[in-house]
Amino acid sequence: MAERKRQLVSNELTEAALQLLALKGFDAVTIDEIVTTAGVSKRTFFRYFASKEDVVVQFLADMGIGISAELAARPVEEHPSVALLHAVSVPIAACGDHSERALRVVQLILRTPALLARFLERQAQWRDDLTAELARRLGLAPDTDLYPQLAAGMALTAFNTVLQRWSDSDGAEDPAELTGRAFALIAPALDAVDQ
């Protein structure tokens, strides 16, 4: 029960912060505004997050965990391109499901240098996690075989390209369709490990 309450407070703070940050811009929002919007005290905010930047970082961490978990859940016999497409499609679909809010958050991250730096920093961990999972699935050594790290890098580059195009188009382009097109381009390289 206590853990559920903790998660609810964290979700409320995250939602309030992301909405304000996306609406007003990173530098224009104060922690006082976030706690007022969320209906909690400043002390409560600092129990969950060290800074407003950490709210966005947690959002990104959750996204990366979702990608890795989805890849691990895919059938082992599936072609790497298909498994990675499905893994990356999870956060892309979440963006599409909450299109306006998600677009504002993605634009905030991509257009705020400090947040973009943290996003790229987080992606280094995502790449390591995807590399390890790909190596496990294919029976390869992640430290000596080139394929797992290259494939993880290609999948995340496709993911970044989709987010950038979606952001630049102000939501006019469909992120799911862009993801399909991106993976169609890189699938031959991703599946070359099967040959």
Token digits of residue 134? 């790909």
Same domain flag for 65 and 94: yes
Instruction: For the chain, 195 residues long, give each residue's pLDDT as a single digit of tens.
Output: 788 888 888 888 888 888 888 888 888 999 999 999 988 899 999 998 988 888 887 777 777 788 999 999 999 999 999 999 999 998 888 776 667 778 888 888 898 898 898 888 889 999 999 999 999 999 999 889 999 999 999 999 999 999 999 999 998 999 999 999 999 999 999 998 754
Query: SS3 of 105, please?
Result: helix
Closest listed residue to residue 137, CA positions, set 64, 68, 77, 67:
77
Shared domain for 36 and 69, answered yes or no, is: no
Structural domains counted in the chain: 2
CA-based nearest residue to 12, from 41, 40, 46: 40
Closest by CA to 190, choosing from 72, 75, 84, is: 84
Give residue 98's pLDDT. Answer: 62
Residue whose structure tokens are 């973009």 = 116
- Cα–Cα distance, 58 to 8 (Å, whole number): 14
DSSP state of 49: -
Q: What pLDDT sits at residue 55?
A: 83
Q: Are residues 56 and 45 in the same domain?
A: no
CA 92-82-172 angle, 5° bins: 30
Show the domain range for 157: 52-194
- For residue 74, give the DSSP letter: S
Q: Are residues 15 and 26 in the same domain?
A: yes
Chain-centre distance of CA 101, in angstroms? 14
